[in-house]
Amino acid sequence: MRFEDILYTKYDGRAKVAINRPDKLNAFTNHTLQEMISALIDAWTDKNVGVVIITGAGDRAFCVGGDQSIRSKGGYAGAESEKNGLEGLENLPLANNHALLLQIIRMIPKPVVAMVNGYAIGGGNVIHVVCDLSVASEKAKFGQAGPRVGSFDAGYGSAYLARVVGEKKAREIWYLCQQYTADDALEMGLVNKVVPSENLEEEVEKMCDTLLSHSPTSLAALKTSFNADTESIWGIHSMAGIALNLYYGTDEAVEGRNAFMEKREPDFSKFRK
């Protein structure tokens, strides 16, 4: 498989997906998401793979969400893709591909470990939130940006996040759009472990060794059970995707996106209802 926006490797029972747009802090486009979906389906169906790792290339970012430089009033721009059987996905709005990616991370009957090596912001934070386990470098920073840049994830990104960190904290994360350190994230239960940056890979490899030494069927059954209680969030996530695609067509959403790209504070005052 040939990819442009991700590095995909398989070794010793692992499949590793690294978003490879470090000059954009690993922000994703539709193409990036489509490649991640392709790779995860390959990992799902490869009997040699027992655990999946998701990370970001470079040492600054895991992923900072949707690439704002290609977002306009019509939503995020698409791009031509390699013919790999899933190219039709690029005709979907980006929010739908992001939703599909999140759902595949939840559905794949193998543990998915997020190796958070830097910023995990916006839709990038949501990717690690839905992973089974998250290990963070002590330099990692976490947060949501939607209300600041004219976007929202009113599905897994909020409702499932609340299951992970609790209602008050989830509301704080989204309403205030602050950044949280790796230690903050550990304290609120957003990550499983924080390690020095230079030990991040080693710690994740050790965790994968343990996972790979355990019964794959036990792990698959447990994952399904853990998912069962929050499965209904997929319904609101799908509905929120429709709302988000409509919202992107509004002047309010465009103000958020433009303010970020123009490096100024947004002025949402005229949109109050």
Q: Do residues 110 and 41 make contact, with C-beta atoms less than 8 angstroms apart? A: no
For the CB of residue 97, give the shortest distance to ligand 2NE in the complex, in Å.
8
Note whether 24 binds ligand 2NE by CB under 6 A.
yes
Note whether 232 binds ligand 2NE by CB under 6 A.
no
| Contact string 46-85 vs ligand 2NE (x = CB under 6 A) | ------------------xxxxxx----------------
Nearer to ligand 2NE, 51 or 67 (CB): 67
Note whether 161 binds ligand 2NE by CB under 6 A.
no
Q: How far apart are CA 124 and CA 154, in angstroms?
A: 15
Sign of CA dihedral 69, 75, 79, 83: positive
The two beta strands, 119-121 and 141-143, are parallel
Residue 85 burial by Cβ neighbours in a 10 Å radius (0-12, 13-18, 19+): exposed
Note whether 180 binds ligand 2NE by CB under 6 A.
no
Nearer to ligand 2NE, 111 or 146 (CB): 146
Pick the piece of the chain touching ligand 2NE (CB under 6 A) from 36-44, 78-86, 94-102, 195-203: 94-102
Number of residues that make up the chain: 273
Nearer to ligand 2NE, 50 or 123 (CB): 123
**57, 95, 194, 240: which one binds ligand 2NE (CB under 6 A):** 95
**122, 180, 208, 223: which one binds ligand 2NE (CB under 6 A):** 122
Note whether 151 binds ligand 2NE by CB under 6 A.
yes
Note whether 238 binds ligand 2NE by CB under 6 A.
no
For the CB of residue 33, give the shortest distance to ligand 2NE in the complex, in Å.
9
Note whether 104 binds ligand 2NE by CB under 6 A.
no
For the CB of residue 136, give the shortest distance to ligand 2NE in the complex, in Å.
15
Note whether 26 binds ligand 2NE by CB under 6 A.
no
**149, 170, 208, 253: which one binds ligand 2NE (CB under 6 A):** 149
The two beta strands, 133-137 and 193-195, are parallel
Task: Give the HSE-up count for residue 213: Cα atoms under 13 Å, Cβ half-sphere.
Answer: 6
Note whether 121 binds ligand 2NE by CB under 6 A.
yes
Task: Give the HSE-up count for residue 10: Cα atoms under 13 Å, Cβ half-sphere.
Answer: 14
Question: What residues make contact with ligand 2NE under the rule CB under 6 A?
Answer: 24-25, 27, 64-69, 94-95, 98, 119, 121-123, 145-146, 149, 151, 260
